[in-house]
């Protein structure tokens, strides 16, 4: 029985038609969640299952999840042609090494590899998401299969390597990558991107700290967008309230000085095409920190003397080709634009995202920012109440355009 699925606020896959290929991996149950997530993002889904996958998960469950009866067998008719004409893209998740090998070598002995090969021939985007035993993942055969598929234009999204297993990626990361690959492509392949995210903490004593309500969501979305579009991404972050993307290199920084030091080291070691400073590092720290907890019962009043922390943006050793900064302000309208322009010049930025933290709907820990995106060349790119997912996409779009120019 088909169930109505509520759409997300952000629907980047609206109008897109996707064939979801399901193979006989033990991770196959997660494809139910992926199918529903893609539908909530606006996509229409049709499912093709290998014969063995039907022994692990029933076609009825995928019908319930998508509202469309899965294809499981070749009937001698033209299902593969019809699906290739209907679809914008195909996502094979999970993909076993067996099915990947069949697609790579044109072994079309059942419907799923036949559809995938037909889609490649039709110039449609094909995305493959491996999930398998780590011993298979580490074989030269697997590496060669990936090379062949990528030569054909197939996008292989790497598995989550965890507990010595090549696992199905987190649904949030995978669905974001499906959107990015289908709608924007792998236009950052070969580029390295630096992103900062989240707050920092400046300790007063072992149990109390100066910090702010930043969740790190904005930086995480930028890092994920860049990684999904093919970049090698280094994420420098404080204590996050959201999960960092699995496919990026993560560097933890507790204090602002820690974050500045990591940024200095990374920009010395690597040459970055893009750096996006989306973190909200604490601007002040106590002059001295107590090594023991300050008693709360005996002290009626505590006077803190504060000193400025290092500016993380000023700690860059080598300037990236595209430099993006954020400005958290307590103003809106023309005043916000003015503040954005000042930061753009003060920090020699290519693009600045200034936002009003007093906004009722936007700000720290929320899905939106009341923001203005201001660049050096064209002025205001966008402004108003914007979803953070949209802002992340616009930042990376701008960076790609700037690099190409």
User: 48-52, 158-162, 186-190, 291-295: which range is least confident on average?
Assistant: 291-295
- For residue 207, report the phi and psi dihedrals to the nearest 5 degrees: -120, 0
337 inside domain: yes
Residue-wise pLDDT tens digits, 78-90: 899 999 999 999 9
- pLDDT value at residue 3: 54
Query: Is residue 32 assigned to a domain?
Result: yes
The beta-strand segments (E) located in 58-171 are 89-95, 125-130, 155-156, 160-162, 165-167
Q: For 97-116, write each residue's pLDDT tens digit.
A: 999 999 999 999 999 999 99
Rounded to two decimals, what is the model's pTM?
A: 0.94
If you count DSSP H runs as helices and E runs as strands, how many of each does the chain have, helices first?
A: 13, 19
* Structural domain ending residue among the three candidates 125, 159, 183: 183
Q: Specify whether 92 is located in the same domain as 138.
A: yes
Residue 38 clears pLDDT 50, i.e. is over it: yes
| For residues 232-251, average pLDDT | 97
Segment 242-259 shows an average pLDDT of: 97
d(CA 37, CA 39): 5
Does residue 294 surpass a pLDDT of 90? no
Instruction: Indicate if 175 and 211 belong to the same structural domain.
Output: no
Q: What percent of the chain has pLDDT over 90?
A: 90
Residues 6+ away with beta carbon under 8 Å from 52: 23, 24
Q: Are 399 and 297 found together in one domain?
A: yes
In a domain, 10, yes or no: no
Strand 284-286 with 306-308, pairing: antiparallel
pLDDT of 309-349, one tens digit each? 999 999 999 999 999 999 999 999 999 999 999 999 999 99
Say how many Å lie between the first and final Cα of the chain, rounded: 51
The answer to whether residue 2 sits within a structural domain is: no
* Residues 151 and 67 both lie in one domain: yes
Q: Is 6 part of any domain?
A: no
| CA atoms in the 13 A half-sphere facing the CB of 234 | 22
The pLDDT of residue 124 is 96
354-390 pLDDT per residue, tens: 999 999 999 998 999 999 999 988 789 999 999 999 9
Indicate whether 157 and 218 sit together in one domain.
no
159, 183, 207 - which closes a domain: 183
In the predicted model, what is the mean pLDDT of residues 248-274? Answer: 98
Tell whether 12 is covered by a domain.
no
Count CB neighbours of 278 within 10 A: 27
Stretch 142-156: mean pLDDT: 98
Domain that holds residue 91: 17-183
Instruction: Please tell me the distance from the alpha carbon of residue 30 to that of residue 34, in angstroms, as a whole number.
Output: 6
Same domain, 196 and 235: yes
123 φψ region: left (φ > 0), alpha (ψ -120 to 50), beta (else): left
- The CATH code of the domain that includes 92 is 3.40.50.1950
User: Which whole number is the average pLDDT over 268-286?
Assistant: 97
Query: Which pLDDT score is estimated for 4?
Result: 58
- Using CA atoms, how far apart are residues 187 and 230, in angstroms rounded to an integer? 7
Do 212 and 250 belong together in one domain? Answer: yes
C-alpha pair distances (Å), 146 with each of 123, 124, 140, 167: 18, 18, 10, 16
> What is the Cα–Cα distance from 339 to 170, expressed in whole angstroms?
38
Task: Assess contact for 279 and 254: CB atoms under 8 A.
Answer: no
Query: CA-to-CA distance for 293 and 36, rounded, in angstroms?
Result: 49
* Distances in whole angstroms, Cα of residue 294 to Cα of each of 208, 301, 378: 9, 11, 52
Residue 3, domain member (yes or no): no
Question: Do 223 and 176 fall within a single domain?
Answer: no
What CATH number corresponds to the domain at position 307? 3.40.50.10300
Q: Are residues 311 and 349 in the same domain?
A: yes
Instruction: Please check whether residues 169 and 230 belong to one and the same domain.
Output: no
- The pLDDT value recorded for residue 318 is 95
Listed residues 162, 183, 204: the one ending a domain: 183
Q: Is the pLDDT of residue 234 over 70?
A: yes
The b-or-e profile of 226-256 (16+ CB within 10 A means b, else e) is: bbbbbbbbbbbbbbbebebbbbbeebebebb
Per the prediction, the chain carries an average pLDDT of: 95
- pLDDT of amino acid 298: 67
Residues 127 and 162 in one domain: yes
Question: Which residues are within 8 A (CB) of 268 and not within 5 positions of it... i.e. 6 or more apart?
Answer: 317, 318
Split into its structural domains, the chain has a count of 2
At residue 144, the 3 state secondary structure works out as helix
pLDDT at 25: 92
Are 162 and 109 part of one and the same domain?
A: yes
Domain membership flag for residue 242: yes
pLDDT of residue 296: 80
pLDDT of residue 1: 44
């Amino acid at each position: 029985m088909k169930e109505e699925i509520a759409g997300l606020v952000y629907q980047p896959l609206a109008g897109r038609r996707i064939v979801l290929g399901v193979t006989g991996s033990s991770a196959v149950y997660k494809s139910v969640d992926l199918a529903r997530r893609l539908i909530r993002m606006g996509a229409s889904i049709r499912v093709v299952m290998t014969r063995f996958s039907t022994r692990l998960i029933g076609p009825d469950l995928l019908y319930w999840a998508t509202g469309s009866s899965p294809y499981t067998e070749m009937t001698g008719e033209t299902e593969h042609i019809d699906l290739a004409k209907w679809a914008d893209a195909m996502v094979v998740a999970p993909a076993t090494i067996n099915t990947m090998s069949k697609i790579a070598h044109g072994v079309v002995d059942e419907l799923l590899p036949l559809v995938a090969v037909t889609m490649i021939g039709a110039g449609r985007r094909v995305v493959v998401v491996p999930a398998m035993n780590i011993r298979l993942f580490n074989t030269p055969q697997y590496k060669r299969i990936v090379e062949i598929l990528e030569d054909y234009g197939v996008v292989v999204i790497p598995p989550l390597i965890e507990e010595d297993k090549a696992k199905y990626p987190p649904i949030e990361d995978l669905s974001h990558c499906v959107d990015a690959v289908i709608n924007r492509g792998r236009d950052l392949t070969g580029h390295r991107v630096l992103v900062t995210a989240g707050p920092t903490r400046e300790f007063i004593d072992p149990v109390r700290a100066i910090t702010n309500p930043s969740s790190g969501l904005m930086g995480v979305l930028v890092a994920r967008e860049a990684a999904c579009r093919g970049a090698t991404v280094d994420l420098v972050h404080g204590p996050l309230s959201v999960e960092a993307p699995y496919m990026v290199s993560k560097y933890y920084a507790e204090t602002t000085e820690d974050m500045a030091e990591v940024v200095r080291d990374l920009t010395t070691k690597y040459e970055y095409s893009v750096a996006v400073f989306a973190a909200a590092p604490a601007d002040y720290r106590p002059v001295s920190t107590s090594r023991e907890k300050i008693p709360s019962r005996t002290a009626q009043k505590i006077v803190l003397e504060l000193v400025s922390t290092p500016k993380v943006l000023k700690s860059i050793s080598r300037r990236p080709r595209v430099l993006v900064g954020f400005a958290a302000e307590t103003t809106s309208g023309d005043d916000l634009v003015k503040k954005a322009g000042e930061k753009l010049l003060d920090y020699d930025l290519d693009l600045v995202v200034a936002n009003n933290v007093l906004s009722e709907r936007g700000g720290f820990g929320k899905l939106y920012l009341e923001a203005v995106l201001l660049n050096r060349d064209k002025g205001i790119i966008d402004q108003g109440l914007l979803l953070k997912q949209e802002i992340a996409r616009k930042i990376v779009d701008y960076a790609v355009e700037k690099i190409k120019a």
